[in-house]
């Protein structure tokens, strides 16, 4: 959100309400994380590696990342190491991180 507010271009910010950390919304348990006290900003157009892996890549955004992390846990039981890429934005799309992961 901070990056969207600071960007000089128009930005459409969309999110799934179940990731807001409000239990009555049926919150995704993995969405409840520590938030730093100091100001920080996630760069628009820069994906993040939510889980490192080597055998397969799962690419998603928003709640799909949480589903991808659960899938990676299930694959790990079968000794399959899955990397989970959190796109964080669709436009611009971080093709470089996706390519690096699938390489």
Number of domains in the chain: 1
Query: pLDDT-derived band of residue 24, with 50, 70 and 90 as boundaries?
Result: low
Q: What is the pTM of this model?
A: 0.81
Q: Write out pLDDT tens, residues 48-90.
A: 999 999 999 999 998 889 899 999 999 999 999 999 999 999 9
**Continuous segment of H or E residues that includes residue 60:** strand 56-60
CATH number of the CATH domain containing 22? 3.40.50.920
Domain that holds residue 16: 2-102
- What is the rounded average pLDDT for all residues in the chain? 88
44 touches 4 (CB < 8 A): yes
């Amino acid at each position: 959100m901070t990056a969207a507010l600071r960007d000089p271009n128009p930005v459409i910010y969309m999110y799934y309400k179940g990731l807001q950390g409000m239990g009555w919304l049926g919150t995704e348990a993995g969405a409840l994380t520590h938030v730093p006290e100091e100001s920080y900003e996630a760069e628009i157009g820069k994906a993040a590696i939510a889980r490192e892996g080597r055998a397969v890549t799962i690419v998603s955004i928003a709640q799909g990342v949480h589903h991808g992390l659960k899938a990676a846990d299930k694959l790990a039981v079968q000794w399959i190491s899955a990397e989970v890429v959190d796109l964080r934005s669709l436009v611009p799309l971080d093709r470089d991180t996706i390519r690096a992961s699938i390489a």
